[in-house]
Structure 1
Amino acid sequence: MVGSLECKIDDISEKLEKLCFMIEDVNSGLIEPKRPPDVATPNDDAGAAATRTPRVSGHVGEGLTGNQNIEHEGETSLAAHANFTTQILENAVITDASMSRQGEMALMIRDIRHAINPTSDPGFDATDSHYATPTSINQPLQPFLPPIQLTLNCLRMLKENPVMRYFWAMEFESIGQVTEQLLSAYATDRQSSTAEWIITYIGLHYLFTQGSQFAADSVTQERYAAQIVDCRKSADAVLARLPLHIPSTMDYVLALTLATQYCMGQCKATMAWTYISTASRMSQAMGLHQIACRQGHDFDADARQKTKLFFAIMILEKNLSLQLGRSSTLRDHDLGVPLKDIRMGHQVGGSLGIMSPKWLQISQIEGRVYEEIYSPAALQQPPSQRNARANLLASGLKTIIQESRPFESEFLRERRRAVGEKLDDLLTQCDKVSNLSLMCLIYSGVSVDNAPFCDECIDTARQALAEHAKTELELLGSLVNSLEAGQNQDTFSASRLLRTIKPLYTAALKYIEMKSQAAPTATNISFETIYQETASTTAPGPVDGRHFGLLLNLE
């Protein structure tokens, strides 16, 4: 059984594949002006009627709808990227003389936009959508647990496999804690609480997902895959029954934090924010922030668990607050110790999902970007004051990136040992691009002589593109080859990732080939021209920092 999100990805992949075939036909001169019969033609106003494209003036503007009052729900950041990128692609096809003659290609791009935003379909069924409630709370909950032997086998793999340990959920402190939490629901002498069921089902979902990637044979992999589906159904059912009034306990704080990551994995950002903001307030009510910032104690098992859980909450909460344009519920003045001096409470190599103090410092910057630069109150401040704040944040981020401490060096060495050189190189490159993207977002709030971008913003964007270029087509092709080679071992999510990435890779190669063979009048079109036309078409309004933040941050 494939979830609604994966069905959506399949739909987009299918349309991308058709677009690739059309590009190939254009290249060979075999295309006919006939629309594929199995793709419904959206009306002329379909994209404008339901699009939630964010707006950023000068940089990016408001959506085609002009509807300013729609509350962003669900896939906010991803939808913002997809809608705006699709609009740029549409303008590129329309502007390019060699492609604008093929009306079917532009129509196919509109169909991709329609697939990205299915709510624009007049026949859209909300009960069958990604946003529907998983299970009616009126239906009786029938607790399901995977066979105990399968669970024990995966727990043994987690204990022995360094890659699984490294990528395990950062909310847990040790293998012992994972075992205790996931096996507690198997006890027959007592009734498990709602929090315990949430921890068990989401934890088992994650455990079997990882275990299926390291299964010894296809039969075991299929058994694990079946458990993944069942655990997802059970997790959705329990979350749908989560009461409004929740007691402030460690189990509920852990359950809500795990639910946050679970929802982020399904691109349900607003629901994730509901869970993490509640977990944040509960953790502060229980004094976890004081325990995490305490100095001079021995960090016993209880203190380590509470410390790591609180910092996991902090990383998730600050990131989501920036993505969604919400004020953080964790105030910096409630942390009594500078984050660079925080003791993590665990030894590198001896625990799960090791966190670096640098992540905490960057998350603190993320929490301040919206509040100090893009919040409604910040936008009312004089440009000089906003510029000063932005420059101060950028300077602080540069210091964090460049600073090297003994624990950070040890963390990087352990990561390389655990995941291998190639994957570690990829993670390092992703860190660079992510940090530069955040820097670019900060500098975009600097206004100089009414220019849309300051020089620092443009320079940082170029650095980010230069770093990104190192992982462009060659590494994308390498990733496609790797996914193809491991189709029999990977999860169904990886196979759908292949179905999404491969058409994009093929289309990119074909597009470059077509441009190289096109007429000079077609190849002289610059990206700046396309961008300006896109911005003027979709974004005539003033700067909206919250929406701009959505454009530059993926979930």
Structure 2
Amino acid sequence: MFGNTGSSKRAREEDPDEGSPEMEKVACDRCRQRKTKCDRVNPCVQCIRTGSDCTYNRGHKLKEKRQRVLISSVYERRLEYIANKLDHLAEVVGRLSHGHSSHATSAGLRLPLQPSFHHPSHSSSSAPAQAEGIESTLFAHVTFTAKCLQAAVMDANLPPSDAPELTAALNSLWNTITAQTQNQILECSQPFAEPLPRSLTSDFKDLPIPSLDRIMACLRLAHEGSPSQLYWPFEFGSLGDFTHYVIRACSPGPITEMELIIVHYVLAWLFTECANLTTGDPLLKQDYEVQALVCRQSLETLLGSLSFHVATSLDAVCAMYMATIHCLQHGKPFTAWAFISKASLISQTLGLHSPHATMGPAGIEEAEEDEDKIQRKTRLFWAVYVLEKALALRLGRPSTIRDSDITLPKLRLDRRMASLLHNRLPDWIEVAGLYGRAYDEICSPKALAQTADVRESRIRAVAREWEGVIAARGELYKHPEQWTSHVLAPGLSDFIIHANRATEYSVLASIYRAIPPETEPSSSTPSSSGDRGITPSPESLAAARLSIAETNACITTMLAADADVDNVAWPSTPGFDVWVTESLLVAPVMPFLILLGGLVHSVGSEELDLDILRRIVDGVGRLVRVPRYARCRKYGRVFRVLYDVAAAFVEVRDRRRMDVYGGEMGVGVGAGGELGGLGDLDAYLDWSGGGWG
């Protein structure tokens, strides 16, 4: 045996073609097949003993040595949980991608196709391809109301004969919502679409700007104009201070992004004001409007390309404040919040909320020498405070400014600083503070954690404060010339007063809407079902009716001014038209939704509230036909489809109630809805006041 082994080793040494080292590490083919031990030489001992051919599979690859990985049972359970979640999400995305298939209820009513908010590209083909939608905060309330309307319709157990009418109205509602969903995504992803020119240098100084002679002409008109004609916002600083910014922007040398934002925003505003003052020369007026548009486009390019880091300076506070106003005027509240919160934090970092910080590092001596600069800081801080508080409540977010940290005296507006057109009323700081308290007492997580009784008492306390504000402002509106030097035409002044009142009553209706609903025993009525959350209180309904009435008065005033061809008091610039449509139609959205909730979940005032809603829907429809107010179309579409669903639902419900009453009381109901036989209208009203019957 030993001789054979030696000969096999010698054969391997003499054979230059012996297998590669890779083959020496594996058994021969026969030993591997028979699972016998092999000495892994060529030929091996086993093959020599049996006289078999010793072959190796040269294509065989060695397996890598496996390494055992030990995973604890905790991680195994986590991995299994994650895998199940991924499977569930994949299933949900698959359903959203293919859409919700309509299915029939027992009554024959088909559910409308609801939109997929994660995939707006799958919207209905019957909807507009690129519909301009309302702002995201209001759009969320509209979507919630639409779901509640649909739930109320489905819970009504309507007969099959009434199903097609309501199905068509609901489908139209969801198609409109689907068409506007994409706009909400674009608002957050790309707030400004102005492209950055390729030839632009990194300091943005080469952005288009009006010529120096045009700028000087505007500045001269602003210097020579009286406060009753041209209102200069006090938070901008003096007109002389702005002239220094213009010199830096139009002359060689470095300039910061914040300074450029100030220059382009103020120039856009200034050219717009000059266009309003220029009435005798149509060509000059048009040129002013064109230059204002150039400045607005350059401003949006700056804001869209703004760097993440913003220097802590007074210019940054002013620039972020101006960017906020620009975003609000163009329906971008979330982008506006990003700017105003930055302005608030920078102003507090600079210590503008404290009177000692406004004196400068040299102390009181420096404060006495530079009183104008201290006044500018004070005015700018309070302007930021007012705007930040209002926008925080509008978006339902906590304020970044704590009132307890402010030691700066409140700014009192004189007649030159106050303006009805720019919503600078003498009580502007007190109202902003009430906005902050409204969030703390109603919307904050701490307030929502309180019991229903505590929440209701706090809500009613805030509502009483706001009713006091409305009453005090009513006296101011009677004589605006006594507290402001900015004179407005009677028609424009009436419009702004009605618009302000519409907003004030809208806020009051929203405050009362937050009152927790009373606990009621379960029944078959829709008002006690799971979607009872939109059931409004009587106070909320009353304030909503007043708000919509003021909005209808605004629309009437606008249509009358547009019909008067000789009327030159109303500004006709695009910027003013944007301000009018945004401020006018944002206010009635919440009152409109509140009245819809009252129509669906209560009985007794359907005819009155439907008439109120119909008038505003028709008024916005007439307003849309005026070219300068075409932006109202986005609100008109939403108002129309919501009204159609509510009107159809109320009509079907009333028809059903008449049928039920006739069956129970033995009363005949005519084709026109009149009661016959022993029918008594008072008895029917008494019977119908208790619910569905």
Give the TM-score band, short-chain normalised: 0.5 to 0.7
CA distance in 1, matches of 2:332, 2:340: 12
Contact 2:192/2:303 (CA < 8 Å) preserved in 1? Answer: no
Q: 2:450 aligns with which of 364, 381, 396?
A: 381
Number of residues of Structure 1 aligned to a counterpart in Structure 2: 452
Taking the TM superposition and a 5 Å limit, the aligned residue runs for 1:207-226 are: 207-216=270-279, 217-226=281-290
Task: Rate the CA distance shift 1:507–1:127 in 2: closer, same or farther, 3 A.
Answer: closer
TM-score (norm 2): 0.54
**What is the match of residue 237 of structure 1?**
301
- 1:334, distance to aligned residue in structure 2 (A): 1.2
**What is the match of residue 630 of structure 2?**
499
1:342 to 2:410 alignment? yes
Contact 2:258/2:319 (CA < 8 Å) preserved in 1? Answer: yes
Contact 1:146/1:227 (CA < 8 Å) preserved in 2? Answer: yes
Q: 1:364 aligns with which of 433, 437, 455?
A: 433
Q: 2:326 aligns with which of 258, 262, 280?
A: 262
1:77 to 2:137 alignment? yes
Code of the aligned partner of 1:347: D
Q: 1:281 aligns with which of 319, 342, 345?
A: 345
**What is the match of residue 317 of structure 2?**
253
**What is the match of residue 272 of structure 1?**
336
Taking the TM superposition and a 5 Å limit, the aligned residue runs for 1:136-155 are: 140=201, 141=204, 142-155=206-219
1:490 to 2:553 alignment? no
Q: 1:431 aligns with which of 500, 503, 519?
A: 500
Code of the aligned partner of 2:493: D
Code of the aligned partner of 2:310: I
Task: Rate the CA distance shift 1:115–1:292 in 2: closer, same or farther, 3 A.
Answer: farther
Contact 2:188/2:334 (CA < 8 Å) preserved in 1? Answer: no
CA distance in 1, matches of 2:425, 2:188: 41
**What is the match of residue 230 of structure 2?**
165
Contact 1:174/1:351 (CA < 8 Å) preserved in 2? Answer: no
**What is the match of residue 320 of structure 1?**
391
Task: Rate the CA distance shift 1:379–1:292 in 2: closer, same or farther, 3 A.
Answer: farther
**What is the match of residue 599 of structure 2?**
none
Contact 2:258/2:315 (CA < 8 Å) preserved in 1? Answer: yes
**What is the match of residue 49 of structure 1?**
116
- 1:280, distance to aligned residue in structure 2 (A): 0.6
Task: Rate the CA distance shift 1:283–1:132 in 2: closer, same or farther, 3 A.
Answer: closer
Contact 1:199/1:254 (CA < 8 Å) preserved in 2? Answer: yes
CA distance in 2, matches of 1:403, 1:274: 33
- SS of residue paired to 1:381: coil
Q: 2:181 aligns with which of 81, 101, 117?
A: 117
- 1:393, distance to aligned residue in structure 2 (A): 2.2
Task: Rate the CA distance shift 1:354–1:391 in 2: closer, same or farther, 3 A.
Answer: closer
**What is the match of residue 190 of structure 1?**
253
Moved more, 483-492 or 358-367: 483-492
Task: Rate the CA distance shift 1:144–1:421 in 2: closer, same or farther, 3 A.
Answer: same
CA distance in 1, matches of 2:387, 2:494: 24
- 1:331, distance to aligned residue in structure 2 (A): 0.2
Q: 2:263 aligns with which of 200, 203, 206?
A: 200
- SS of residue paired to 2:230: helix
Code of the aligned partner of 1:419: L
- 1:262, distance to aligned residue in structure 2 (A): 1.2
Contact 1:397/1:439 (CA < 8 Å) preserved in 2? Answer: yes
Contact 1:263/1:271 (CA < 8 Å) preserved in 2? Answer: yes
CA distance in 2, matches of 1:504, 1:485: 25
Code of the aligned partner of 1:498: Y
CA distance in 2, matches of 1:211, 1:93: 54
Task: Rate the CA distance shift 1:505–1:253 in 2: closer, same or farther, 3 A.
Answer: closer
**What is the match of residue 540 of structure 1?**
none
Task: Rate the CA distance shift 1:319–1:435 in 2: closer, same or farther, 3 A.
Answer: same
Code of the aligned partner of 1:79: F
CA distance in 1, matches of 2:442, 2:144: 22
- 1:357, distance to aligned residue in structure 2 (A): 4.2
CA distance in 2, matches of 1:411, 1:292: 35
What does the per-residue CA deviation read over 1:244-278, in whole Å, with 9 as the maximum and x for residues that have no partner? 33222111110111111112222222221111111
CA distance in 2, matches of 1:387, 1:293: 41
Contact 1:328/1:367 (CA < 8 Å) preserved in 2? Answer: yes
Task: Rate the CA distance shift 1:370–1:351 in 2: closer, same or farther, 3 A.
Answer: closer
TM-score (norm 1): 0.65
Task: Rate the CA distance shift 1:467–1:147 in 2: closer, same or farther, 3 A.
Answer: same
CA distance in 1, matches of 2:466, 2:236: 28
Task: Rate the CA distance shift 1:225–1:78 in 2: closer, same or farther, 3 A.
Answer: farther
Task: Rate the CA distance shift 1:354–1:444 in 2: closer, same or farther, 3 A.
Answer: closer
CA distance in 1, matches of 2:187, 2:496: 39
- 1:318, distance to aligned residue in structure 2 (A): 0.8
- SS of residue paired to 1:479: helix
What CA RMSD, in Å, does the superposition of the two structures yield over aligned residues? 5.1
Contact 1:361/1:400 (CA < 8 Å) preserved in 2? Answer: no
Q: 1:330 aligns with which of 375, 398, 401?
A: 401
Contact 1:446/1:454 (CA < 8 Å) preserved in 2? Answer: no
CA distance in 1, matches of 2:547, 2:134: 30
CA distance in 1, matches of 2:655, 2:237: 54
- 1:188, distance to aligned residue in structure 2 (A): 1.6
Task: Rate the CA distance shift 1:111–1:351 in 2: closer, same or farther, 3 A.
Answer: same
1:301 to 2:381 alignment? no
What does the per-residue CA deviation read over 1:443-493, in whole Å, with 9 as the maximum and x for residues that have no partner? 333336337699995225314413532542x65244134346579972346
- SS of residue paired to 1:171: helix
Contact 1:202/1:232 (CA < 8 Å) preserved in 2? Answer: yes
**What is the match of residue 514 of structure 2?**
445
Contact 2:418/2:483 (CA < 8 Å) preserved in 1? Answer: no
Contact 1:253/1:279 (CA < 8 Å) preserved in 2? Answer: yes
CA distance in 2, matches of 1:232, 1:175: 20
Code of the aligned partner of 2:490: E
- 1:163, distance to aligned residue in structure 2 (A): 6.3
- 1:215, distance to aligned residue in structure 2 (A): 3.4
Unaligned runs of 5+ in 2: 1-97, 102-112, 120-132, 521-531, 578-625, 657-693
CA distance in 2, matches of 1:464, 1:417: 31
**What is the match of residue 44 of structure 2?**
none
CA distance in 1, matches of 2:165, 2:189: 36
Contact 2:352/2:358 (CA < 8 Å) preserved in 1? Answer: no
Unaligned runs of 5+ in 1: 1-41, 53-72, 527-555
Contact 1:437/1:461 (CA < 8 Å) preserved in 2? Answer: no
Code of the aligned partner of 1:80: A
